[in-house]
């Protein structure tokens, strides 16, 4: 065995140990107590449940409850506890806004409890590819309606944005929408999940379709409730960011310069830039 080989092997073992240490740290972090959930009324019969994962909407009907999203797997008890405080009726449907597990992580437990889970077909494709438990049995391409207890909920796909399988859920009688992560109020920075079909160019086109709906109140993917003015501002800010980065890309600025601009001028989290998002963003801006 040569000295070089010994040294390489030693480095490899050290690297493997560090990977294991990282996995262990992630595992133990997941073992910490899940954060409790709280509920606030949005409109008559419609509530927003907030907690560790994305915002959950709960529509109460005489025939059961319709949820939009279900947070992480570990938040199932917290979400169901909040639902039970609102209604004695069972949860009948969960409509996923997209496949990220802070929005669809409790799907498997919902399915086990005979709840029907519905998502865009691309969200299901992403979940299956990621081996994420709880892939929905019912999917749609453009849109679908659920009718329960005399109430209607519409789920619609307006194209690529946060992922390639985003859905916006509309409660027409109440003039409320749940945007999933196509719109956020805290944090406010978009995350373009290119690995799962996201697109910065298509994102605002999807929002323009959303803005054609008749609504006055928004349950965002994360953060406090908002309204039409909040979404309009957020869309304008997104476009400002995109044209600035597009300009930098056309001027041949480096990935590092683009990253620094996103962090310093647009408040993007440094950690969120490390997972290939900037490379894909630059590539899309070159198209």
Q: Summarize as ranges the residues that interact with Zn ion (CB under 5 A).
A: 100, 181
Nearest to 162 by CA among 124, 200, 105: 200
CB count in 10 Å sphere of residue 52: 16
Closer residue to Zn ion, CB minimum distance, 151 or 156: 156
Closer residue to Zn ion, CB minimum distance, 181 or 202: 181
Q: How far apart are CA 96 and CA 49, in angstroms?
A: 15
36, HSE (Cβ side, Cα atoms, 13 Å): 4
61, HSE (Cβ side, Cα atoms, 13 Å): 19
Structure tokens at 186: 């805290």
CB of 272 to Zn ion, least distance (A): 12
Closer residue to Zn ion, CB minimum distance, 221 or 230: 221
CB of 183 to Zn ion, least distance (A): 11
Q: How far apart are CA 126 and CA 163, in angstroms?
A: 9
CB of 191 to Zn ion, least distance (A): 6
CB of 52 to Zn ion, least distance (A): 14
State how far the alpha carbon of 78 is from the alpha carbons of 58, 112, 140, 191, 268, in Å. 13, 17, 28, 26, 30
CB of 103 to Zn ion, least distance (A): 6
Closer residue to Zn ion, CB minimum distance, 100 or 235: 100
Q: What are phi and psi for residue 133, nearest 5 degrees?
A: -65, 155
Closer residue to Zn ion, CB minimum distance, 53 or 230: 53
Q: What are phi and psi for residue 285, nearest 5 degrees?
A: -70, -20
Closer residue to Zn ion, CB minimum distance, 131 or 286: 131
CB of 257 to Zn ion, least distance (A): 27
Closer residue to Zn ion, CB minimum distance, 126 or 139: 126
CB of 197 to Zn ion, least distance (A): 12
CB of 224 to Zn ion, least distance (A): 17
Closer residue to Zn ion, CB minimum distance, 45 or 136: 136
Q: How far apart are CA 281 and CA 246, in angstroms?
A: 9
């Amino acid at each position: 065995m040569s000295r070089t080989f010994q040294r390489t092997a030693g480095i490899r073992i050290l690297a493997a140990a560090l990977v294991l240490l990282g996995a262990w740290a992630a595992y133990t972090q997941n073992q910490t107590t899940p954060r409790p959930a709280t509920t606030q009324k949005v409109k008559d019969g419609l509530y927003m449940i907030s907690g560790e994962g994305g915002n959950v909407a709960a529509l109460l009907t005489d025939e059961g409850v319709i949820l939009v999203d279900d947070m992480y797997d570990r938040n199932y008890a917290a979400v169901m506890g909040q639902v039970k405080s609102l209604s004695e009726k069972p949860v009948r449907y969960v409509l996923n806004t997209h496949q990220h597990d802070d929005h669809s992580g409790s799907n498997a437990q919902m399915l086990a409890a005979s709840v029907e889970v519905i998502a865009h077909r691309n969200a299901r494709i992403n979940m299956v590819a990621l081996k994420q438990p709880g892939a929905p049995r019912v999917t749609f391409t453009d849109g679908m309606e659920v009718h329960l207890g005399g109430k209607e909920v519409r789920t619609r796909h307006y194209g690529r944005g946060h992922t390639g399988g985003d859905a916006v859920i509309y409660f027409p009688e109440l003039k409320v929408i749940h945007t999933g992560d196509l719109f956020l109020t805290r944090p406010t920075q978009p995350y373009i999940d290119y690995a799962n079909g996201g697109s910065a160019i298509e994102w605002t086109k999807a929002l323009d379709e959303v803005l054609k709906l008749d609504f006055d109140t928004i349950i965002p993917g994360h953060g406090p409730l908002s309204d039409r003015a909040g979404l309009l501002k957020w869309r304008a800010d997104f476009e400002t960011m995109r044209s600035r980065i597009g300009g930098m890309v056309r001027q041949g600025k480096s990935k590092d310069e683009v990253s620094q601009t996103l962090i310093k001028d647009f408040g993007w989290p440094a950690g969120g830039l490390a997972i290939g998002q900037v490379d894909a963003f630059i590539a899309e801006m070159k198209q």
